Every structure is written in structure tokens, then in C-alpha cells.
């Protein structure tokens, strides 16, 4: 969830919001909601305040009231930086959108960039890059080398570190400019640029900057697809990016039920049958897959699946 703290611009409202936060942390979300309502009387156009009011109301069991606050958030911020639309879906007030709002994902990782590796690797036991690389080399051979590899959703470069020794050219793309700054500091990429994998081929940013379609013999998406929702669009982009016979390694979170599920973490989960069907539609065939624990969340394991696919020649 987005943790950005945004001031209302009104000292009294900010003070009441801070007291509301303390009440919530002490377990009194109903009182926190009441105090947040008082703050919003002073600054009725405060987007972050309306979103937080929804959080307190939902925690207090007032789901209909929470929905009202999150709908107000969306009215004030149609780009939905706080993912109010996803919150509405979690409480059953709206259908889950096919994709999370790009502005939310961008803001989430811009805010997360400075502590990303410490939080993810040291505290959450995140090993998707190492495990994906191990699966890739186990299947293709330890001496396998790629001419051009593309790290989709490269973040700070954790996957790039694994890829560098096995590729002649390494490109990285991410929606977050702050993440790209961190990746650039590693000095392991031949090219880094912004891209939005939820957009179409003409607008996503993958093509026309670092090269043409069909330029890569490997694409990798480690811990990325859970921030994209429906996979038909991104799989089509990968298929266009790969040369015939090129490989695609990626991870997904596994749902308990259904093809696509929205988890309380606001990440999307994808079933194996759904993934295989969408790969096939995009002209990609699955070569191997592996069950795994992607990370921890709240001390609990997050179960997922690693896939290696190939573009049909």
C-alpha cells in the first residue's frame, strides 16, 4: 500500500489527522474516522485525507461509509494515485479493474525506491531474481549466453545483477523514475528507460527508443506481473519484443481461487491455467514451471509460480 504522507496545507487539519493516526494505531478506528471527518471539514478537497478516512472507516467495519470516502477520493483524483478503485474492489463495492492505476504503481515505487532492497531482500526474504536465473540456466545450460536481454520492471536492478554475466546487452525498463535512478547507480545496464507495461505497443515505451521489435532473445519479469492485472496486453508486448525462439522468464503470485484475484496487498494473483492460456494466445509456449515462495508478507509466505516460456518460431 502507498505510504506517502501528504499534508493538507492546513496546520489544524494536519494536527487532527495526526491525532487520528494515533487513535487508529491504538485500535480505535471509529474515533480516528470521526477525527478525520473533522479535518476534512476544514479541507474538503484533500485527496489523501479522503483516502485515509476510507481506511479508518473500513477498519472500523463501516464498509459503505468507506466506499463513500474512496469514491470521493476518485472524484478528486481520477488518476487514482492511492488506488481507491482497488480498495473499492476489495470490499466488494466495485468490480476489480483489469489493471491497477499506473499513477498508483509509479508513486508506490517512487516512494519505495530508497528502502526497496533493504525491505525486500533483508526483511521479506525476496529471492525471485536468483530463483528465476537458476531455473533458466538449469533448463538451458549453465553456459547459455544471450545477445540482448530485457529486464521488464527492472526496479533497482536486482534481476539485472543476475542477468549481467549471461548477456551481451542488457536493457532495463521501469515505470518508476526513482527506481531507474537506483538501477543506474549499479552501472550494469547498457540502456535504461521508462516504460508502462499496461499500455499498448505504440505507447508503452519499449519500442522506438532502445531498438525495434524482435530485438531480444530473453525477456524477464521478476515480481512485475502482480502489478499489471490482466496479462494479455503484457504478453503481447513480450511477444513483439522477442525474436522467434526467444525466451521469457517471469513470476506470478498464485491465487486460492479463480483465474485472477486481487489480494489484500493490492497485488494481482494469476492461476497457472490462466497464464498458460494467455501465453498460448500471444504465441508463447511454456517450457517449464516451478512452484516457489516469492517472499514473505506480514510474516506469512507468499506462494507463486516461476515460468519459462519461448516464442514460437
Q: Is residue 3 part of a domain?
A: no
Does 128 lie in the same domain as 69?
Answer: no
As a whole number, the mean pLDDT across the chain is 93
Q: Is residue 271 part of a domain?
A: yes
Residue pLDDT, tens place only, 73-91: 999 999 999 999 999 999 9
The last residue of a domain, from among 95, 128, 149: 95
CB atoms within 10 A of CB 11: 10
Distance CA 263, CA 96 (A): 11
**Residues composing the chain:** 313
Supply the CATH number for residue 47's domain: 1.25.40.10
Distance CA 75, CA 67 (A): 12
Residue pLDDT, tens place only, 291-303: 999 988 888 899 9
Q: Is residue 136 part of a domain?
A: yes
Supply the CATH number for residue 139's domain: 3.40.50.150
pLDDT at res. 122: 73
Q: Is residue 103 part of a domain?
A: no
The last residue of a domain, from among 37, 71, 95: 95
Does 53 lie in the same domain as 80?
Answer: yes
Mean pLDDT of 128-147: 95
Q: What are phi and psi of 232, to 5 degrees?
A: -60, -40
Distance CA 76, CA 81 (A): 11
- Residues forming beta bridges with residue 308, ordered by sequence position: 249, 288
Residue pLDDT, tens place only, 23-67: 999 999 999 999 999 999 999 999 999 999 999 999 999 999 999
- Can you read off the three cell numbers belonging to residue 159? 534481476
Does 80 lie in the same domain as 181?
Answer: no
pLDDT at res. 8: 87
Q: Is residue 1 part of a domain?
A: no
Q: Is residue 104 part of a domain?
A: no
CA distances, 98 to each of 58, 60, 112, 190, 271 (Å): 23, 28, 24, 33, 15
Distance CA 215, CA 95 (A): 37
Does 172 lie in the same domain as 307?
Answer: yes
pTM above 0.75, yes or no: yes
Q: Is residue 255 part of a domain?
A: yes
CA 215 centroid distance within chain: 25
Does 158 lie in the same domain as 43?
Answer: no
Does 214 lie in the same domain as 153?
Answer: yes
The last residue of a domain, from among 73, 95, 117: 95
Does 141 lie in the same domain as 214?
Answer: yes
Does 84 lie in the same domain as 41?
Answer: yes
Does 91 lie in the same domain as 178?
Answer: no
Q: Is residue 54 part of a domain?
A: yes
Does 266 lie in the same domain as 172?
Answer: yes
pLDDT at res. 1: 44
Q: Are 174 and 194 in contact (CB under 8 A)?
A: yes
pLDDT at res. 76: 96
Does 126 lie in the same domain as 86?
Answer: no
Does 247 lie in the same domain as 172?
Answer: yes
Distance CA 21, CA 167 (A): 49
pLDDT at res. 210: 54
Residue pLDDT, tens place only, 196-244: 999 999 999 999 755 589 999 999 999 999 999 999 999 999 999 999 9
Range of the domain at 263: 109-311
Domain count, the chain: 2
Q: End-to-end distance of the chain based on CA atoms, in angstroms?
A: 41
Amino acid at each position: 500500500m502507498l505510504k506517502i504522507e501528504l499534508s493538507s496545507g492546513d496546520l489544524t487539519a494536519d494536527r487532527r489527522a495526526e491525532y487520528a493516526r494515533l487513535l487508529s494505531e491504538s485500535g480505535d478506528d471509529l474515533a480516528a474516522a470521526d477525527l478525520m471527518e473533522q479535518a476534512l471539514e476544514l479541507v474538503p478537497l484533500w485527496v489523501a485525507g479522503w483516502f485515509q478516512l476510507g481506511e479508518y472507516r473500513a477498519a472500523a467495519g463501516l464498509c459503505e461509509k468507506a466506499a463513500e470516502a474512496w469514491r470521493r477520493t476518485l472524484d478528486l483524483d481520477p488518476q487514482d494515485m492511492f488506488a481507491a478503485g482497488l480498495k473499492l474492489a476489495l470490499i466488494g463495492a466495485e468490480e476489480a479493474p483489469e489493471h491497477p492505476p499506473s499513477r498508483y504503481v509509479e508513486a508506490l515505487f517512487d516512494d519505495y525506491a530508497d528502502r526497496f532492497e533493504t525491505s525486500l531482500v533483508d526483511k521479506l526474504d525476496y529471492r525471485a531474481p536468483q530463483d528465476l536465473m537458476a531455473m533458466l540456466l538449469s533448463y538451458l545450460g549453465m553456459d547459455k549466453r544471450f545477445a540482448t536481454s530485457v529486464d521488464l520492471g527492472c526496479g533497482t536492478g536486482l534481476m539485472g545483477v543476475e542477468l549481467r554475466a549471461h548477456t551481451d546487452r542488457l536493457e532495463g525498463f521501469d515505470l518508476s523514475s526513482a527506481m531507474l535512478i537506483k538501477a543506474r547507480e549499479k552501472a550494469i545496464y547498457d540502456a535504461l528507460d521508462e516504460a508502462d507495461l499496461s499500455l499498448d505497443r505504440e505507447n508503452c515505451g519499449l519500442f522506438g527508443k532502445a531498438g525495434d521489435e524482435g530485438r531480444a532473445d530473453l525477456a524477464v519479469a521478476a515480481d512485475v506481473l502482480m502489478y499489471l492485472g490482466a496479462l494479455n496486453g503484457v504478453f503481447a508486448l513480450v511477444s513483439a519484443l522477442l525474436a522467434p525462439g526467444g525466451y521469457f522468464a517471469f513470476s506470478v503470485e498464485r491465487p486460492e481461487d479463480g483465474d485472477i484475484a486481487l489480494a489484500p496487498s493490492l497485488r494481482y494473483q494469476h492461476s497457472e491455467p490462466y497464464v498458460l492460456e494467455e501465453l498460448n494466445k500471444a504465441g508463447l509456449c511454456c517450457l517449464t514451471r516451478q512452484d516457489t515462495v516469492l517472499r514473505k508478507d506480514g510474516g506469512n509466505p507468499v506462494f507463486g509460480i516461476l515460468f519459462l516460456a519461448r516464442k514460437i518460431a
